[in-house]
A and B are shown apart, each in its own frame.
Chain A
Amino acid sequence: MSNSLDAYLILAGILFAIGSFGFLARRNAISMLMSIELMLNAVNLTIVAFGSFVESLRTSSSVIALIVMAVAAAEATVGLSIVIAIYRNRRTPLVDEYDTLRQ
């Protein structure tokens, strides 16, 4: 099982689905950001798994995974500071209470 690409890809798909569920269903903005991190990690697992089983991607997959990690770190920084800036104005981290445009 650990020597088949399909097992890793399906595992990454399940993790991506969990992350997408969290992004759609949670109310807290930071929970949504954590779900985005889960989805990014699922994609990274896919990249590394391809590099481990496809000869032509052997070294470049690790490089691509490292670059994805750096971009994810940048995304987390900006996303969390946006959440903190909104929290400072609205005093709540719940996204369904950000409804100024609806009133």
Chain B
Amino acid sequence: MAIPDAVPVLGIGWDDVLFMVLAAALIGTGLLVVTMRDIIRCGLAMMACFGALAGLYALLGAPLVAAAQVLVYIGAISVLILFAIMLTETKAAPARLVFQTQAIPAAIAAVVLALIIALTVGSTDWGAVPARLDSATDAVARSLFRDFVLPFEIVGVLLLAAVIGGVFLAKRERSDPS
């Protein structure tokens, strides 16, 4: 049985449906990340947010970036953040006020920022083609290891420095040199 080109009742394409579902999931979980009281749940919502974003990358025809998003963000960074949450939360400390006193001006500023971005996007001609382009993985690899080989190496050194710096900063300092 062949799948029809468009959703039967609504008359819109499957890609559009997928985009809307992923966009709703992205914005919903993003809002949960910044508003929920329990910070562990914020971290789990952030993982769901990254998952929706990986779906959007796959929809945009960048499968390598989608895979890296799952590996790096959901796999590594989220786990790092959850570990840090568990190291810094004490059971005795109640989750008191979640927001600073300037939360309402911050909300107004964020809404204004979103409006400015939307207006700018709407009034600019980006020279975009009307159809999506897929980025082939072998072309990406060739570009990464030929044209961008210097940034690639610099990022490697940066990651090494960041790991060493992280270990040094988080190391417990001995008070007496014994």
Residues of A participating in the B interface, judged by any CB pair closer than 8 Å? 1-11, 13-22, 24-31, 33-35, 37-38, 41, 44-45, 48-55, 58-63, 65-67, 69-78, 80-85, 87-88, 91-93, 96
When distances are taken between beta carbons in the complex, the residues of chain A under 8 Å from B50 are: 41
**Interface membership of chain B positions 29-43, coded 1 if the CB is closer than 8 angstroms to chain A and 0 otherwise:** 011011000010011
When distances are taken between beta carbons in the complex, the residues of chain A under 8 Å from B111 are: 17
| Count of chain B residues with a beta carbon within 8 Å of a chain A beta carbon | 93
Cβ-defined contact, B33 with A85, below 8 A: no
Given contacts A53-B133, A67-B155, A71-B155, contact A17 B172 (CB under 8 A): no
Asked whether any CB of chain A lies closer than 8 Å to the CB of B122, the reply is yes
Q: How far is the CA of A66 from the CA of B152 in the complex (A)?
A: 9
Cβ-defined contact, B162 with A5, below 8 A: no
Q: How far is the CA of A31 from the CA of B89 in the complex (A)?
A: 12
How distant is B48 from chain A, measured CB to nearest CB, in Å? 12
Residues of B participating in the A interface, judged by any CB pair closer than 8 Å? 12-13, 15-16, 18-20, 23, 26-27, 30-31, 33-34, 39, 42-43, 46, 49-50, 53, 56-57, 59-62, 64-65, 68-69, 72-73, 76-77, 80-81, 84-85, 87-90, 93, 97-100, 102-103, 106-107, 109-111, 113-114, 117-118, 121-122, 126-136, 139-140, 142-144, 147-148, 151-152, 155, 158-159, 161-163, 165-167, 169-170, 172
Q: How far is the CA of A75 from the CA of B142 in the complex (A)?
A: 27
Q: How far is the CA of A34 from the CA of B73 in the complex (A)?
A: 11
Contact of B159 among A29, A63, A73 (CB under 8 A): A73
Q: How far is the CA of A36 from the CA of B109 in the complex (A)?
A: 16
Cβ-defined contact, B155 with A11, below 8 A: no
Cβ-defined contact, A70 with B158, below 8 A: yes
